[in-house]
Amino acid sequence: MNIYGAQELEHADTTTLRLVHVIWRHGDRTPSILLPTDPTNGINSWPLGLGELTKKGIQQEFKLGKFLRKRYDGFLSQDYSPFEVYVRSSDYNRTLASGQAVLSGIFPIHGEELWVPIPVHTVPKPLDSLLYDRVLCPIADAERQMIYSSNPEILKISKKNENMLRFLAEKSGATKIPLPLREIWFIFDPLFAISCHNESHKLPDWVNSTVQKEIWRLYDISSNFMYHTDLLKRLRGGPLLKDILNRMQSRISGILDKRLKFYAFSGHDTSISALLNAFGVAINVFPHYSTALFVELHEIGNEFVVKLFYKSQTDSSFVEPLEIPGCEKSCTIEKLFALRKHVIPDDWEVECGLKHWYSFTSEFYLLIICFLSLLCAILVGCLLNTKMVHKRRRNAFELKSTPSGAHLLTGDDEDIDAGL
């Protein structure tokens, strides 16, 4: 990453800014998983439950909101407008609540003003390919499994750190010894949460400062392989990149309402990392709480250019401008589409192996059913009509007996046909 004049970038250039997308991580939370060998920090020690936003996390997100107000003040109106701001969250309590906390920082209550609730939108996890990294995608899952099980670099790192990984497996109660590098998260997550709440929780005795640093280091190394290939970038980060670029293109072409200025995503560390990787930007430290990525669309002269900025620290206003590979000077939207086309999925469901290219939508099947029902109705009608015609003809040609035994017809074909 290229960093220059970072402190001066606390304020955005609102004179040329036309649209900004912000992707932030939720604030401090309770652990998502517990160590079976650490009963002291068991479930009863976390009254909120697992994976929930804490008071500390609410404060962090509120502070992030105040930072966003300062950065985009003058670009954003003082009061919330549904035409100007839209926030989308993953379907987790902690991200939904984080979105509310950030918005409270951007649009604070003044004096005796009535609090105005601001909507935060979401979609169910099984349908969320933008922010939910574990949404079903068999092709991506197989690719990630292949990376962690057979990538030469991963194998080399695992071999080099075998003693530490064996130690961690034995102390944490892991079933696999030595601990696979991919599973370092199962140890890092509860220990990191404990370290963030050292006023009420204490790390296990076997986690001294040296061991802690090693766990943190191995976690960052392991996490950086999550989007190691173009296929993983395409299937995990590509949907969000595509969504953002399409919206910016709509703004340029005049399709998007010009009143929309701020489109935000309240997500996870994986949300930020996946998008950065889709842009071709690598980071050494996995995103911490309340970090944020800014994707800004600027109109400079006769060109629309995209600029990336990253707030990589929780309790700091330090902002880094990021260079997109191939776009070191001016990254126009056209150039960006061309550079990152290989990581933008055409049909995500097909590429994930969830459906075949020849699969049809539910609407298409409904149309087929309606067509077949109509066809059946027509056929039944034709059959009934044919039956009635035959019956009428039998009645019209009723034979009448004569004294000589001959039979007389009551009508002829032309009369019958004319009466149908």
Q: Which active-site residues does the annotation give?
A: 26, 269
Q: Is 416 left (phi over 0), alpha (psi -120 to 50) or beta?
A: alpha
333-340 and 238-253 helices, crossing angle to 10°:
150
d(CA 282, CA 276): 7
Partners of residue 327 on adjacent β-strands: 324
Burial class of residue 139 (count of CB atoms within 10 Å of its CB; 0-12, 13-18, 19+): middle
d(CA 149, CA 183): 12
CB 232 within 8 A of CB 140: yes
Residue 114: phi and psi, rounded to 5, are -75, 135
Give every CB contact of residue 332 below 8 A, 6+ residues apart in sequence. 303, 304, 305, 306
d(CA 335, CA 248): 13
CB 127 within 8 A of CB 137: no
CB 176 within 8 A of CB 158: no
State the CB neighbour count (10 A cutoff) for residue 78.
Answer: 12
Torsion angle of the four alpha carbons 189, 195, 196, 200, in this order, in degrees rounded to the nearest 10: 120
